[in-house]
Amino acid sequence: MAAETEKRRPSVVYGPRAPVTLTLTFGQLLDHHAKTRPQSPAVISHVQGRTIDYKELCDRSISLAKAMKGAGIRKGSKVGIISGTRIEYLEVFFATARLGAALILFNYAYTDSELVQLIKSIEPIMIFAPPGFARYDYNKALRKAQDSVASLKHFILFDDIFKKHQSSSLKFENYETFLKSKPAGSWSDDPSISAHDMVNIQFTSGSTGPNLLSRTPIPLIRMIVAISTSTVCGSSLVFPSELFDPTAALLCIEKYKCTALYGVNTMFITEMSAKAFKSTNKSSLKFGIVAGSPMPPEFLRRVMKEFEIPRIYTCWGMTELSSFVTMMHETDPWDKRIHTTGRLFPHFILKIVEPNGTKTLPWGERGEIVVSGYGQMAEYIGNKEKTEEALRYHDEDLEEGGVGGVEGRGSQTLRPWMHTGDEGVLDADGYLVFTGRIKDLIIRGGENIAPLEIEQRLNDMEAIAQASIVGVPDDKYGEAVGAFLELKEGRDKPSDDEIKKWVKDELAYFKAPTWIWWLGDGDVPEEWPKTMSGKVSKPELRKLVEEKLIKKDGKKEKAKL
């Protein structure tokens, strides 16, 4: 009887109603910390050799806001930034928020053509950027944008950490000179600015090309995870390097006695593989937050053991939902912490629906994760079709037993649901189990194969540091299982037969990989291709498979690696 009741129960969970959401703006929050903890470090930038406290960050953001206002930036204006992890990024973030303008985050790794195309599409008035850093040089792209984007009136260039300005025809203003261009005096943020105004525009890390994402700021819970969380708590952010550097991160944990470590799983793996890992003192760490991809239980155990972190939290979310939506709690049982991504955050509703549909599935069935709540994006700018595909309305909400409209049951106004493209299932206690991307499923001869379970099995193999599974075109079965593997340092490479047997010992025979490639062999790159958010890019792996690793001459032959 209980089983029948459970089967009829719809896969819907409601986040708690407490705590009540705060409606402070970022400017108001920074002002608060400047008064209550003026000398507490806001940012420690190891790579810049500089620390800035909350009072200085507040003062400099106001000075910058004055200069930007003098240059014509107003509420609703668009301001772009290209930057690695550096103090100036936070100053621009808070200054833009004070003006009610939208900050556009351009990825530092864009090619010249991508950058120019995106600048044209978004039409900002002002862009903050270095002329280049590390292996990236923006002079050519910025000159082209300057000549072709009529709205673009101001380039504000940072003094670059790695290389000084070279001779260039680019018309620019120096960041420090610009920041100090307006006299000191009283300042008040625009009173018409609210916590519900748009504060930034991001390009999602999707694989079909960048999508412009308009995101409504959520009041003080999270947005850009590290910045918002640290600012809410009044804690200190440590910037080890402009680009991710595992050795620098480890050294900073020791030097600055960091208590928390954020990252996607590939970052933790890279840090554990670094030569400096064993020699650095990590005892100050109190907890870690791992996100980005499904986490094999063995991986989480390894992180806790090797980092000696007392608490590790997994979570699930996406850019379109303003970051995390579910997360573990320190009181959750160990079994939940390693097998689920936690429970739903306050003020959200989550459902599991039929893939490519809107019908809610019975409790315990796998399907697409859809979410509704205050943190979801406003739209994909300039892409109505994609917006309507992602944000959908479910007629069943207004039916008897449905979740109700935007004001709850009784409301006749349908709420929008963010269709995430992620597959998941709710366990008996309402914890979300994230099982992977729906489009990553491999269909072999009619059998649906989830890459995650194969990856988890391979990650348990002593010689393998990380595994990623993709579908490989196959004439007979439609798709076959392909495995990309990273060898642990100092280990001998197992044979293909050993790997296949390892998988078959625990999983169905058809889940064993037909194709096996190792990082660094033949046409396989030495490092994992990554999305903008640091996840392993499976679309890039699939592209590599089809273009270089298999032959299409009437039959498919295994590439010689």
Mean pLDDT of the region 378-393: 87
In the numeric block, the tokens 């300005």 are attached to 165
Contacts of 542 (CB under 8 A, 6+ apart): 470, 471
Output 283 or 531, whichever has higher pLDDT.
283
Q: What is the mean pLDDT of the chain?
A: 85
User: CA–CA separation, 362 vs 10, rounded Å?
Assistant: 5
**CB burial of residue 112 (10 Å; 0-12, 13-18, 19+):** middle
Longest dimension (CA), the chain: 78
| Helix and strand numbers, DSSP H then E, in the chain | 16, 29
DSSP assignments along 315-338, one per residue: EEEEGGGTEEEEE--TTS-HHHHH
pLDDT digits (tens, 9 = 90+) for 480-521: 999 999 999 889 999 999 999 999 999 989 999 999 999 999
- Cα dist from 463 to 267, 275, 452, 535, whole Å: 19, 17, 18, 22
Output 554 or 192, whichever has higher pLDDT.
192
The answer to whether 81 touches 104, Cβ cutoff 8 Å, is: yes
Mean pLDDT of the region 33-39: 96
| All structural domains of the chain with their residue ranges | 26-221, 257-437, 441-549
Of 73-82, 112-121, 273-282, give the lowest mean pLDDT range: 112-121
Residue 57's SS3 state is helix
In the numeric block, the tokens 């009784």 are attached to 410
Would you state the structure tokens that stand for residue 256, as one six-digit string? 């600055």
Mean pLDDT of the region 366-388: 88
Contacts of 391 (CB under 8 A, 6+ apart): 376, 377, 379, 416, 417, 418, 419
Per the rule left: phi > 0, alpha: psi between -120 and 50, beta: everything else, 358 is alpha
Strand stretches in 97-177, DSSP E: 102-106, 126-129, 132-133, 136-137, 154-157, 173-174
Residue 172's SS3 state is coil
The CATH homologous superfamily to which domain 257-437 belongs is ANL, N-terminal domain (3.40.50.12780)
Output 412 or 39, whichever has higher pLDDT.
39
pLDDT digits (tens, 9 = 90+) for 295-334: 777 788 889 899 999 888 888 988 888 878 999 988 899 8
What secondary structure letter does DSSP report for 440?
G
User: CA–CA separation, 288 vs 314, rounded Å?
Assistant: 9
User: CA–CA separation, 39 vs 51, rounded Å?
Assistant: 11
Contacts of 191 (CB under 8 A, 6+ apart): none
Quick check: 541 pLDDT over 90?
yes
Quick check: 117 pLDDT over 60?
yes
For 2, half-sphere exposure in the C-beta direction (CA atoms, 13 angstrom radius) is 1
Residue % of the chain over a pLDDT of 70: 89
User: CA–CA separation, 533 vs 267, rounded Å?
Assistant: 11
The answer to whether 368 touches 421, Cβ cutoff 8 Å, is: yes
Output 549 or 29, whichever has higher pLDDT.
29
Mean pLDDT of the region 432-457: 87
Quick check: 166 pLDDT over 70?
no
Q: CA 190, 195, 196 angle in degrees (round to 5)?
A: 110
Q: CA 171, 173, 178 angle in degrees (round to 5)?
A: 160
Quick check: 559 pLDDT over 60?
no
User: CA–CA separation, 542 vs 538, rounded Å?
Assistant: 6
**Three-state helix/strand/coil letters over 376-418:** CCCEECCCHHHHHHHEEECHHHHCCCCCCECCECCCCCCCEEE
The CATH homologous superfamily to which domain 441-549 belongs is ANL, C-terminal domain (3.30.300.30)
Strand stretches in 118-233, DSSP E: 126-129, 132-133, 136-137, 154-157, 173-174, 200-203, 212-215
Q: How many residues does the chain have?
A: 561
Confidence (pLDDT) at 322: 80
Query: How confident is residue 211, by pLDDT bands cut at 50, 70 and 90?
Result: low
The pTM assigned to this predicted structure is 0.80
Quick check: 218 pLDDT over 60?
no
User: CA–CA separation, 359 vs 394, rounded Å?
Assistant: 8
> Domain 26-221, what fold?
Rossmann fold (3.40.50)
Confidence (pLDDT) at 170: 54
Beta-bridge mates of residue 154 = 126
